[in-house]
C-alpha cells in the first residue's frame, strides 16, 4: 500500500520531489526516498531535476489497482454522498475562479489585472464562505479516508494566506494555492472512486 500511495501521489501531483510526496502521503521522507529509488530502479518512475514523474506504463498499471485498494471506500455510502456534495460545490468553485481570473469591463469579460482591490476582496470573501461548506464535506470524507486530512489542512492554510492579502494563494499554479489544491483533491477523489472528470 505504501508504494501504491507514493505512485498515486505522483499521479495526482504530476511531478514532485520526496518532501512533497512525504507530506502528501504521511510517510517519512526516508521511506518515500527508498520507495522512489525502488520504483526508479524498476522503471515505474523517472527522475528529472530532483523531481519524479510516473512512467506511462506505471500509470496504466496504477489505474488498474484502484478498485482493489479502495474497495471499502467505494462501498461507503457516507463517503459517496460526501463526494456528490463535493461535486456540487466544485461547480461553484469553478465559477468563483472564473470570476477571480476575469472581470467585466464595458459588458465584456477581460483578464483581471487585480488592480481593483475591492473586487478581489469580495471574491476572497466568497471563497471563505465556500470553504466553510467545503470543510464540513471534507470532515465526512476524512472519516472514510483519513489521509484526506492533508487537503483539509492545506486548503485552510491557502485560504488564510489569501485572506491576509497574498492574492497569489487563490489560484497561482506555481504554489499550493487554493485552486491548485482543489484540483488535486478532485483528481484524488476521481481516481480512488473510479470516476472521470467532466469536461
pLDDT of residue 48: 85
Instruction: Quote the CA–CA distance of 161 and 178 in Å, as a whole number.
Output: 10
Res 197 pLDDT > 90: no
Which residues does residue 47 pair with via DSSP β-bridges, in sequence order?
Answer: 52
- Burial grade of 71 (CB within 10 A; 0-12, 13-18, 19 or more): exposed
Kindly indicate the confidence band of residue 199, based on its pLDDT and cuts at 50, 70 and 90: low
Position with higher pLDDT, 130 vs 48: 130
Q: Give this prediction's pTM.
A: 0.93
Tens of pLDDT, residues 148-194: 999 999 999 999 999 999 999 999 999 999 999 999 999 999 999 99
Res 122 pLDDT > 90: yes
Which residues does residue 108 pair with via DSSP β-bridges, in sequence order?
Answer: 105
Residue pair 165/135 in contact by the 8 Å Cβ criterion: no
Residue pair 100/170 in contact by the 8 Å Cβ criterion: yes
Amino acid at each position: 500500500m505504501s508504494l501504491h500511495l507514493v505512485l498515486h501521489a505522483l499521479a495526482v501531483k504530476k511531478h514532485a520531489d520526496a518532501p512533497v510526496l512525504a507530506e502528501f502521503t504521511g510517510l517519512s521522507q526516508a521511506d518515500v526516498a527508498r520507495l522512489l529509488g525502488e520504483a526508479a530502479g524498476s522503471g515505474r518512475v523517472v527522475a528529472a531535476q530532483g523531481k519524479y514523474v510516473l512512467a506511462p506504463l506505471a500509470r496504466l498499471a496504477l489505474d488498474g489497482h484502484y478498485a482493489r485498494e479502495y474497495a471499502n471506500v467505494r462501498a461507503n455510502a457516507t463517503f459517496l454522498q460526501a463526494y456528490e456534495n463535493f461535486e456540487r460545490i466544485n461547480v461553484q468553485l469553478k465559477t468563483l475562479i472564473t470570476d477571480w481570473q476575469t472581470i467585466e469591463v464595458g459588458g465584456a469579460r477581460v483578464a483581471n489585472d487585480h488592480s481593483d482591490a475591492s473586487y478581489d476582496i469580495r471574491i476572497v470573501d466568497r471563497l471563505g464562505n465556500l470553504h466553510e461548506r467545503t470543510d464540513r464535506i471534507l470532515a465526512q470524507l476524512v472519516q472514510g479516508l483519513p489521509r484526506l486530512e492533508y487537503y483539509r489542512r492545506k486548503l485552510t492554510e491557502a485560504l488564510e494566506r489569501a485572506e491576509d492579502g497574498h492574492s497569489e494563494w487563490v489560484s497561482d499554479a506555481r504554489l499550493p494555492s487554493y485552486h491548485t489544491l482543489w484540483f488535486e483533491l478532485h483528481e484524488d477523489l476521481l481516481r480512488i472512486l473510479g470516476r472521470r472528470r467532466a469536461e
